[in-house]
Amino acid sequence: MDLKICWLYHDIMDLYGDKGNMLVLRKRCEDRGIQVIIDTLSIGQECDLSSYDILFLGGGADKEQMILISDLLARKDNIQKAMEEGSFVLLICGGYQLFGQYYINAHHEKIEGLKFFDYYTDTGENGRRCIGDIAISCDLDGNTYTVVGFENHGGQTKNVNSTLGKVLHGFGNSFEGKQEGFYNGKVLATYMHGPLLPKNPEIADFVIYKGLKKRNPNIRLQDLQPLDDTLELKAKQAMLKRLNILK
């Protein structure tokens, strides 16, 4: 088997170590003998996104989002085609915001989104931000996970009709909502940086599995060869104890 990944705007949207997510996907595929190709896409480059199994768009500050938004909006039809044909989409922070209706940034400028989903993002009042370690409980296609990460965002994402998970510690989509991210079976979007996947090998494998399903529709999550995640899981347990979620 092989897996094709496209990292959108790798040179612009790489806040808080999002490159680590790509490194983890590559390593976990290689350890299983899965051939993985990770291509990058920047402003003005030609690319058929529907030819990829996974699309990844990481986080970026307001300035970076303003720089790339025209190019991103021009790719809307191609991204829609990719999703319709089974490409799995992973979005972090700014990438999450841009797939919604709009984002009101810290300067109260409105950045139009791709409008694939009903959610929208306002800016926090008086410069308030959601900052700190975060842990959530989520159900992904019947699989229950506890996920840890780090969040740092002023944006308050609202009207999310299909959330990724319930907040156990931290903020999530907004100050009071106690819900985090977005998941609809085809798109996993989250505010969790850190980066996300090194801290959560189960989520990394879930993303790999969803990507493989595009061209291997009968594959099951349990078909992935188990890897030794002892160190990763110890690190996660240490964080969960620090957050008083594990005793």
Annotated active-site residue in 93, 130, 138, 153: 93
User: Is residue 108 flagged as an active site residue?
Assistant: no
User: Is residue 169 flagged as an active site residue?
Assistant: no
Annotated active-site residue in 10, 138, 153, 193: 193
Look up tokens 């160190």; give the residue.
Answer: 231
The annotation status of 26 as a binding-site residue, yes or no, is no
Q: Which residues are catalytic?
A: 93, 193
Residues in binding site for substrate: 129
